Amino acid sequence: MTHNGTVLRTVYDFPVAAHICSDGTVRYTRLVRRAGCEPQGVCPACNITFQYRKPKPSRVRHPSSQGASHF
């Protein structure tokens, strides 16, 4: 599961991204916008880097298959 480097996960939530952490609890990582880059945040517990990405302008919403609850 570890990948020798930084684990990057794309998220569509801003400024806080929720994820299920390595211990099974939901954690919220604050994303910080950098100059010239998309906002990023790193979870200190599992070291996953979350990178914000603007959602595609699709009107179709498909149900999430990851089991994470939406805000």
Residues that bind Zn ion (CB under 5 A): 21, 27, 43, 45-46
For residues 23 and 35, which CB has a smaller minimum distance to Zn ion in the complex? Answer: 23
- What phi-psi label fits residue 67: left (phi over 0), alpha (psi between -120 and 50 degrees) or beta? left
For residues 16 and 21, which CB has a smaller minimum distance to Zn ion in the complex? Answer: 21
Give the shortest CB-29-to-Zn ion separation in angstroms: 7
For residues 44 and 63, which CB has a smaller minimum distance to Zn ion in the complex? Answer: 44
Cα-to-chain-centroid distance, residue 32? 12
Total H helices, total E strands in the chain? 0, 5
